Homo-oligomer: A and B are copies of this chain.
Amino acid sequence: MKFATEYLWFNTRRHREYINITDKVEEVVRRSGIREGMALVSAMHITAGVYVNDAETGLIQDIDEWLERLAPTGPDYRHHRTGETNGDAHLKSLLIHHEVILPVTDGRLDLGPWQQVYYAEFDGQRRKRVVIKVMGE
């Protein structure tokens, strides 16, 4: 049984940003030598997420506007009594989910033709991390 654990660091220029990390996850799988198994990709923060969808610029803007509609930026969150201002980022993270788990078959991510893995930053401009753990043989 083999394991590989690697961490990706991000420090986005914008407050919200969507970064395609499919190639980086594929690289971790390749380096692991694992042919059959599963790859867990998980944000280590409560104001960021990881999801699988399309690498299409218009759609990414649609996703961003949709998240802002369902979990809007605003001054009125109770969480802000702690001095924080990022209540919306927590809700966006819950909505998009913080992790995905991907099948590994024949040494590759077993994804459909349009499936890409994204890191979604909802409270950026600081150093943040994603853990990738591959498990199999």
Chain A residues near B (Cβ < 8 Å): 1, 3, 5, 36-38, 40, 42-46, 51-54, 56-59, 61-63, 66, 70-71, 77-82, 87, 90-91, 93-103, 105, 110-112, 114-115, 129, 131, 133, 135-137
Contacts and interface: CB of A to CB of B under 8 A. Distances in A.
Q: State how many copies of this chain the complex holds.
A: 3
Contact of A135 (B38, B77, B98): B38
Chain A at the B interface: mostly helix, strand, loop or mixed? mixed
A-B residue pairs, 3 tightest by C-beta: A44-B112, A58-B78, A59-B79
Given A40-B103, A103-B40, A133-B103, A52 B58 contact: no
Contacts of A105: 5, 131, 133
